[in-house]
Amino acid sequence: MGARASGARGGAARTGATPSRAGPPARRGRVVLCTAAALLVATLAYAVVPRDAQALAGTTGTVRVLLLVGCVAALVDVVARLVRGAVAQGRSFGERLCVLLVVVWVVVVFFAAVAYVMADGFEWLRSKVDALYFAVTTLTTVGFGDVTPVSQEARLLVIVQMVFDVVVVTTAVTLLASARTGPPHEPGRSGGEEDTT
């Protein structure tokens, strides 16, 4: 029995494989399940709320700007909490990747919802799919130009989204990608190796 266990450990050492740091398979399964649930909840929330593209029709530009500022502040808080939790708890690379996926999708859905509510300020933005398409093309900096902001409020929204994407999402990606998964000098593992499970 002892030789068998020793041989298994020796095999991992000989192949250069590193032991999984993500924990038992049940934990990995929970991470994937939680990620899928978070993506589904964000998508369903987007599909249901807001129901009316004219939700802010009749409000002043000042009210819209104040709502935008408040909502962006809340979004920054949500993203910061997700990233802080993923980095501070020494999560595996796979877990941090799941958090990153949730962060990016929440940002896309948020800006798509705001664009949809402000649809009257955009040219060719007529549905939630158009708004989602616009948010993704803005995030990825593709910007085909088929959906364009024409009102001052819509242009302000796009400016906020571009700055948010560059500053907050890039910071989240950097923090999540560079976070360590364990002590720097773990026996049998160099400090530069990264767990890809």
**Residue 149 has what DSSP assignment?**
E
Can you tell me the distance from the alpha carbon of 182 to that of 191, in angstroms, rounded to the nearest whole number?
9
CA atoms within 13 A on the CB side of 33: 6
Of 118, 111, 125, the closest CA to residue 163 belongs to 111
Per CATH, the number for 24-178 is: 1.10.287.70
Token pair in block for residue 94? 């796979």
**Residue 166 has what DSSP assignment?**
I
Q: pLDDT of 50-76, one tens digit each?
A: 677 676 667 777 787 788 888 889 988
Directed axis angle between helix 61-88 and helix 152-164, to 10°?
10
Per-residue pLDDT band for 80 (boundaries 50, 70, 90) equals confident
Of residues 92 and 155, which shows the higher confidence score? 155
Mention every residue, 6+ apart, whose C-beta is less than 8 A from residue 54: 119, 120
pLDDT at 2: 47
Can you tell me the distance from the alpha carbon of 46 to that of 117, in angstroms, rounded to the nearest whole number?
11
Q: pLDDT of 8-35, one tens digit each?
A: 444 444 444 444 454 567 777 888 898 9
The region of weakest confidence among 110-119, 156-165, 186-195 is 186-195
Per-residue pLDDT band for 128 (boundaries 50, 70, 90) equals very high
Question: What pTM, to 2 d.p., does this model score?
Answer: 0.71
pLDDT at 191: 47
- With contact defined as beta carbons under 8 Å apart, do 79 and 109 qualify? no
**Residue 178 has what DSSP assignment?**
H
Q: pLDDT of 164-180, one tens digit each?
A: 988 888 888 888 777 66
Token pair in block for residue 148? 């364009």
